[in-house]
Amino acid sequence: MPDSLSTTSVPLPLLDRIRAIVGPKGVIEDASEMRRYTVEWRDIYVGRVPLVVRPASTEEVSAVMRLCYEAGVPVVPQGGNTGLVGGGVPHEGGNEILLSLDRMNRILAVDPVGYTMTVEAGCILKTIQQTAADHDRLFPLSLAAEGSCSIGGNLSTNAGGVQVLHYGNARNLVLGIEVVLPDGRIWNGLRALKKDNTGYDLKDLFVGAEGTLGIITRAVLKLWPKPKDVATSWLAVRDPAAAVEILSGAHAASEDNVTSCELMSRQGVEFVLAHLPGTSDPLAARHDWYLLLEWSSSRPRREGSASMAERMEAYLADCLERGLVLDAALAQNEAQAQAMWKLRESHSEGQKLEGPSIKHDISIPVARLAEFVGKGIAAMKQVVPDCRPVPFGHVGDGNLHFNCQSAPGQDKAAFFAQAEAISHAIYDLVTSFGGSISAEHGIGRLKIDELPLYRSEVELDTMRAIKRALDPKNLMNPGKVVRI
Amino acid sequence: MPDSLSTTSVPLPLLDRIRAIVGPKGVIEDASEMRRYTVEWRDIYVGRVPLVVRPASTEEVSAVMRLCYEAGVPVVPQGGNTGLVGGGVPHEGGNEILLSLDRMNRILAVDPVGYTMTVEAGCILKTIQQTAADHDRLFPLSLAAEGSCSIGGNLSTNAGGVQVLHYGNARNLVLGIEVVLPDGRIWNGLRALKKDNTGYDLKDLFVGAEGTLGIITRAVLKLWPKPKDVATSWLAVRDPAAAVEILSGAHAASEDNVTSCELMSRQGVEFVLAHLPGTSDPLAARHDWYLLLEWSSSRPRREGSASMAERMEAYLADCLERGLVLDAALAQNEAQAQAMWKLRESHSEGQKLEGPSIKHDISIPVARLAEFVGKGIAAMKQVVPDCRPVPFGHVGDGNLHFNCQSAPGQDKAAFFAQAEAISHAIYDLVTSFGGSISAEHGIGRLKIDELPLYRSEVELDTMRAIKRALDPKNLMNPGKVVRI
């Protein structure tokens, strides 16, 4: 069995046979051309492979996998290479093949009546969103990397984003998948069924497995009615507890049409305002906490019935009266709504431009979110007293990006030397809240050694048993999620 | 390895040790008392066990499982014994232990703010529904057996019901579970998290596994806002194609508040009217096809805004004009709504009282539902020309109970002799539509030998690999779902 971290090279005859399967367009071997596949986009990992293979069909993926399986060569599947935990990046040893799905990027079918779309795994998320919109439908997965991430990667990581609250995460947006197994066999689970109780839920096992059990090659996605009446507001709120309360009441006030509810702190917003050109504060005064609230209805505005904006306004007036909301700006047009979203979606960029930061993608039960924010900030400051906490995220999911920005001008190396202590302080607290150390980004390579600290031996052991059962040679994206 | 169909008996010392763990209240050994556990409720299977064990806690379940694992004795877990495929019924050989969860029936916690409820697996579904309602919340799982089925069984079978359209099936109603593994180890996955991407999705593997991978002992359920404004109508519709079109438009017209959309044929309704006292036809004239449509909003009716009933009425007027709806009755009060639901929910009883029938629980892509109904009826009649097809079910899920009633006065044995031919005709058609031979009931014992005919060898083999990995001795509800 090959050790994924060894420097054993891939046998040359295997490379020849792979070239023969996929043809000249299907391989990249030039070192500089390979970099966009082998280097993690934030330069955290720099992998090395002899060859990037880009199959054009499921059959080609299958043939390549079969060869690698027989030769005992590990394969790293990759979508848009936008992941945040190194799940799609090869190791440094040069003994793995990188298999990119980027040539399998076709929309295969759209069924607006049945509310489904069938796509190849390499389809860019944005293309899927736009195709749905062209058919008066919505594919609700929405996240910062949507212009370059692929649906195969989204499914393999069970991606989250800003509309999980209403539509669920990627797992909930897919009806069926096709998977090439580690030995090259093809599982056709490409079913467009809302209900199917014929045995174990294989689909949900491959979704979120980060390519360690097989390669998702095609998918039948669910579509929703396209929103016709959207209200967006930017709120200054009393505190995180108020944010939870505002959301709790918003469900009924909007008739279950809350599609986003994003919490931000002044600190995070300030980084955006300072570094991103063209951004401005929608409110006159400074406030400590903000909420971006969006309600969407699939029913067009009509005479004699209150629009979403009118209903939201009425609800916010009530929240102002109760002291939950301190000030509010309701977007008057699409441009204003987009400007509010820009403040939210530039949070990562704002932090990056401000300087070094240590990131956490955690979740806790929604009801305890406010309590966690207070204790989490205190825990962070106990380790690094002058750090600048930047908590933000998805209130309805109990999912916070609980980041820690270095003090202005602090030495980068000295700051990162504290990374482990900060992360463990946060993760220990998360665990005491019954939470998760990876709400939406996954485990990949980044958290593979953290997972055993925060999940039970029984849980890890069950995962390992599944991994061994489906990938007995440990050739499928080894060294990610779980070690066997 | 014991053969589950052999007549090897369970070692007596093991029974003594089990008695010692659970005490006198925890065992039933009297043959007549055991019958309500060992006999399938429709008398399709009559199992035999030396002992029914009824643990009072997860720890007792764990201790019993450990003993049985060491002794190599198979265990059949059981909830309310209301399943439709024999998944919870022991075999005839007498070499299995039946483990009932019926003493573990406590509600452990209700969190209305976080919209969760934590329960033991033996909790009766109705109790859970009522507890949610007492807290102004909704637990949306709703099905005919709700007064006696248990949540552990609902989760183990990934139960469906009449509100899947809006809320999803049981899989979508649970955040976390606790499972006792075949060797007695306890997996605590009892997390109240909306998002958690820390490794493989174990929860969804145990949900729907019909007790063949472990025993679900506790669960954290999701709650929803309680509906405050509900509109129910009974419609005569042009045909099944019209039903699909009515539902398709209803999403937007109701602002995504369609909670049920149930199709029935005149034949099924007639059996109910003929055999169930106190039922009556809501409409004056006879029609071939009916639809029960329900819209529910969590926002109370208020001045100046159209109620659900008003909106539904406006939409139905439009559907009447377009010839989709032929006649309609809108429930004016709760009693009228219940009377409409009684016509739908008594369908199984009506058929039972009418005489023998052969049942199918199938699903197909929603967009092709009408086409399937036509071809399915033709396929049935080709095998048994004078049979009476009774198709009914959940339009939004593409899930039909596609039943076949014998001709009046037909000999029972002669009718059932044709069962396999009828079922295969239907299942072959389902497969040609990319459908499922078990949409919500599961595989259990009833369909274990059908599954390999309608699912690929790759799929079966992957299921077997998982079963072997998690239950290497094949002691966990053997002979159900998949054979290894």
| Cβ contact A204–B204 (<8 Å) | yes
| Cβ contact B482–A363 (<8 Å) | no
What is the distance in angstroms between the CA of the first residue and the CA of the last residue of chain B? Answer: 12
Q: A81 φ, ψ to 5°?
A: 55, 45
| Cβ contact B158–A465 (<8 Å) | no
Mutate: best of A141, A155, A157, A194, partner B, most B CBs <10 A: A194
Query: ipTM above 0.90?
Result: yes
| B contacts of A458 (beta carbons < 8 Å) | 181, 185-188
Mutate: best of A143, A200, A476, partner B, most B CBs <10 A: A200
Q: Please give the residue of chain A at the shortest CA–CA distance from B458.
A: A187
pLDDT, block means (10 residues), chain A with 484 residues: 51 96 97 95 90 98 98 98 95 96 98 92 98 97 94 98 93 97 98 95 98 98 94 98 94 89 98 97 97 92 85 97 98 97 94 94 94 97 96 95 95 94 96 96 96 97 98 98 95
What is the predicted pLDDT for the residue at A255? 82
Interface of A with B in 414-453 (CB under 8 A): 434-443, 447, 451
Q: Please give the residue of chain A at the shortest CA–CA distance from B463.
A: A200
Task: Give how far Cα B292 sits from Cα of B232, B256, B284, B329, Å.
Answer: 7, 17, 16, 10
Model confidence at B8, pLDDT cuts 50, 70, 90, reads low
Q: B476 φ, ψ to 5°?
A: -95, 100
Q: Where would I find the beta strands (DSSP E) of A214-345? A: 215-222, 224-225, 229-237, 258-265, 289-297, 325-330
| Cβ contact B114–A368 (<8 Å) | yes
| B contacts of A452 (beta carbons < 8 Å) | none
Distance CA A381, CA A404 (A): 9
Q: Where are the alpha helices (DSSP H) in B346-448?
A: 347-354, 369-383, 412-416, 419-432
Decide which of B332 and A144 is more confident.
Answer: B332
Q: Where are the alpha helices (DSSP H) in A53-160?
A: 58-71, 125-134, 151-156
Distance CA A471, CA A468 (A): 5
Q: Is B344 exposed, middle or buried (0-12, 13-18, 19+ CB in 10 A)?
A: buried
| Cβ contact B199–A366 (<8 Å) | no
Amino acid, res. B234: W
Q: Where are the alpha helices (DSSP H) in A207-331?
A: 240-253, 266-275, 308-321
Question: Does residue B2 register a pLDDT over 50?
Answer: no
Q: What is the largest CA-CA distance in chain B?
A: 74
pLDDT digits (tens, 9 = 90+) for B55-65: 999 999 999 99
* Residue pairs spanning A and B at CB distance below 8 A: 275
What is the predicted pLDDT for the residue at A4? 42
What is the predicted pLDDT for the residue at A6? 42
Q: Which residues pair with A219 in a beta bridge?
A: A119, A177
Interface of B with A in 256-275 (CB under 8 A): 256-257
Q: Please give the residue of chain B at the shortest CA–CA distance from A208.
A: B200
| Cβ contact A459–B199 (<8 Å) | yes
Give the pTM.
Answer: 0.95
pLDDT digits (tens, 9 = 90+) for B64-90: 999 999 999 999 999 999 999 999 999
Q: How many CB atoms lie within 10 A of CB B417?
A: 10
What is the predicted pLDDT for the residue at B306? 85
| A contacts of B225 (beta carbons < 8 Å) | 251-252, 256
Distance from CA of B424 to the nearest CA of A (A): 16
The whole-angstrom distance between residue A121's C-alpha and the CA centroid of its chain comes to 16
Coil, strand or helix at A299: coil
Q: How many residues does chain B have?
A: 484
CB A298, CB B255: distance < 8 Å? yes
Q: Decide if A473 touches B, using CB distance below 8 A.
A: no
Question: Does residue B1 register a pLDDT over 70?
Answer: no
| Cβ contact B169–A195 (<8 Å) | yes
| Cβ contact A111–B365 (<8 Å) | yes
pLDDT digits (tens, 9 = 90+) for B159-179: 999 999 999 999 999 999 999
CA dihedral for A2, A6, A11, A14, sign (positive or negative): positive
Q: Please give the residue of chain A at the shortest CA–CA distance from B226.
A: A252
Q: Average pLDDT for residues B260-283, to the nearest whole number?
A: 97
| Cβ contact A197–B158 (<8 Å) | yes
Give the residue from B330, B158, B176, B255 showing the smallest Cα distance to A198.
Answer: B158
Q: Please give the residue of chain B at the shortest CA–CA distance from A136.
A: B252
| Cβ contact B111–A367 (<8 Å) | yes
Q: Decide if A209 touches B, using CB distance below 8 A.
A: yes
Show the tokens assigned to B79. 């909830």
Q: Decide if A143 touches B, using CB distance below 8 A.
A: no
Q: Rounded to the nearest 10 degrees, how much is the dihedral formed by the CA atoms of B29, B32, B34, B37? A: 180
Q: Which of B198, B208, B470 sits opposite A451 (nearest CB)?
A: B198
Show the tokens assigned to A321. 């009266």
| Cβ contact A197–B439 (<8 Å) | yes
| Cβ contact B197–A298 (<8 Å) | no
Q: Decide if B392 touches A, using CB distance below 8 A.
A: no
| Cβ contact B439–A186 (<8 Å) | no
What is the predicted pLDDT for the residue at A299? 82
Give Cβ neighbours of residue A301 (< 8 Å, ≥ 6 apart).
A228, A229, A307, A308
Q: Where are the alpha helices (DSSP H) in A161-224?
A: 164-167, 202-206
Q: Decide if B196 touches A, using CB distance below 8 A.
A: yes
